[in-house]
Amino acid sequence: MSHITPAELALWQRGGLAHTLIDVRRAAARQGDGGQIAGGQWHDPARWLDWKDSIPIDGLVVLYCVHGREVSQGLVAALRVMGVDARYLAGGIEAWKVAGEAVQALGA
């Protein structure tokens, strides 16, 4: 399955590589953490059938959850079947933080 590392995503962001970043953490996990990766937009993973058609199929898409496991990997698999060039963030937002990358407060 296609993934991207925190270091690669950081390079994409710093280099201005066009991509769509989607936070697919469950609502409780997202609120409990209180932070997000800059530039991301949250989509409720439980309602993915409602938002799947809004995801661009003509660009790079990165999804992240807490640990980069079942939530983001499952949604990436579904989006790839639909023709989206989707990848999950290996290790999720937790790996992003461990790598020393910045997070911003929700709503910032």
pTM reported for the whole predicted model = 0.94
| pLDDT recorded at residue 107 | 80
Q: Which domains does the chain have, with CATH numbers?
A: 3-105 (3.40.250.10)
Can you tell me the distance from the alpha carbon of 64 to that of 84, in angstroms, rounded to the nearest whole number? 15
Exposure class string for 27-53: b at 16+ Cβ within 10 A, else e: eebbeebeebbeebeebebeebeeeee
Which value, in Å, is the radius of gyration of the alpha carbons in the chain?
13
In 3D space, the residue among 62, 67, 73 whose CA is nearest the CA of residue 94 turns out to be 67
In this predicted model, what pLDDT tens digit does every residue of 57-85 receive, in sequence order?
Answer: 999 999 999 999 999 999 999 999 999 99
Quote the mean pLDDT of the chain: 95
Q: What is the pLDDT of residues 17-30, one digit of tens each?
A: 999 999 999 999 99
Give residue 1's pLDDT.
62
* Model pLDDT, residue 5: 97
* Paired strand residues for 3: 88
DSSP state of 90: T
Q: Which residues contact 105 (CB under 8 A, 6 or more apart)?
A: 34, 35, 36
